Amino acid sequence: MPSIYRNAKCRQQVRAWCLERLSEWSVPHQRREIPTTVGVTSVITMGPDRAPAVVLVPGTNTNGAVCRHLAAALGARWPTVVLDVPGQPGLSADVRPRRGRSTWYGRWLTEALEQAVPGPALLVGHSLGGAVVLASDSPRIAGRLLLSSAGLVRLRVPTGVVASTVPWLARPTPPRTARVLRRMMAFDGRVPDELTEWMTLVARCCHSSLAPPPLSPELLAERRSTPCLVATGRHDVFLPPRRLGPAARRHLGARLHVVDGSGHLLLDESPDEVVALVAQALDSAFGDAE
What domains lie within the chain, and their CATH numbers?
A: 8-286 (3.40.50.1820)
Task: Report DSSP state, residue 38.
Answer: T
pTM above 0.85, yes or no: yes
CA distance 175 to 73: 29
Which residue ranges of the chain lie beneath pLDDT 50?
A: none
The residues, any chain, with a CB within 8 Å of residue 44's CB and separated by 6 or more, are 22, 29, 30, 31, 64, 71, 81, 82
Percent of the chain with pLDDT over 90: 87
Instruction: Give the rounded distance of the alpha carbon of 207 from its chain centre.
Output: 18
Q: What is the tens place of the pLDDT at every residue in 72-121?
A: 999 999 999 999 999 999 999 999 887 888 899 999 999 999 999 999 99
> Element (H or E) spanning 145, and its range?
strand 141-147
Model pLDDT, residue 187: 78
Model pLDDT, residue 290: 61
Q: Is cis: bond before 52, omega within 30 of 0?
A: yes
Model pLDDT, residue 288: 62
